[in-house]
Amino acid sequence: MNPFDLTGKVAFVTGAAYGIGYGIAKSFASAGATIVFNDLSQEKIDEALKSYKADGIDAHGYVCDVTNEEAVNATVAKITEEVGVIDILVNNAGIIKRVPMVEMSAADFRQVIDIDLNGPFIVSKAVIPHMIEKGHGKIINICSMMSELGRETVSAYAAAKGGLKMLTKNIASEYGEFNIQCNGLGPGYIATPQTAPLRELQEDGSRHPFDQFIIAKTPAARWGTPEDLQGPAIFLASDASNFVSFM
Ligand code: NAP
Ligand code: GCO
pLDDT digits (tens, 9 = 90+) for 55-67: 999 999 999 999 9
* pTM greater than 0.85 (yes/no): yes
pLDDT over threshold 80, residue 103 = yes
pLDDT digits 0-9 by tens, 68-79: 999 999 999 999
- For 108, other C-beta atoms within 10 Å of its C-beta total 13
Mean pLDDT value of segment 117-140 = 98
What's residue 246's pLDDT?
A: 81
Closest Cα to atom 4 of ligand 2 = 189
C-beta 97 within 6 A of ligand 1: no
Average pLDDT, the chain: 97
The catalytic position among 22, 52, 62, 157 is 157
Q: How confident is the model at residue 218 (pLDDT cuts 50, 70, 90)?
A: very high
Residues 152-208 have pLDDT tens digits of 999 999 999 999 999 999 999 999 999 999 999 999 999 999 999 999 999 999 999
Give me the amino acid identity at 126.
Answer: A
Question: Ligand 1 in contact with 40 (CB < 6 A)?
Answer: yes
Which residue's alpha carbon is at the smallest distance from atom 32 of ligand 1? Answer: 94
18 is a catalytic site residue: no
CB-count exposure of residue 80 (10 Å: 0-12, 13-18, 19+): middle
Q: Are 118 and 94 in contact (CB under 8 A)?
A: no
In single-letter form, the type of residue at position 193 comes to P
Question: Cβ(214) to ligand 2 under 6 A?
Answer: no
CA distance 136 to 131: 5
Tell me which CATH code domain 10-188+227-241 carries. Answer: 3.40.50.720
With a 6 A CB cut-off, is 153 part of the ligand 2 pocket?
A: no
For the sheet containing 180-185, what is the strand order?
A: 60-63, 34-39, 10-14, 88-91, 137-142, 180-185
Q: Using the 8-state DSSP alphabet, how is residue 118 labeled?
A: I
d(CA 124, CA 181): 12
Sequence spans of domains, the chain: 10-188+227-241, 190-223
| Angle between the N-to-C axes of helices 19-30 and 230-237, in degrees from 0 to 180, rounded to the nearest 10 | 60
Please report, as a single letter, which amino acid is at residue 150: G
Q: How confident is the model at residue 247 (pLDDT cuts 50, 70, 90)?
A: low
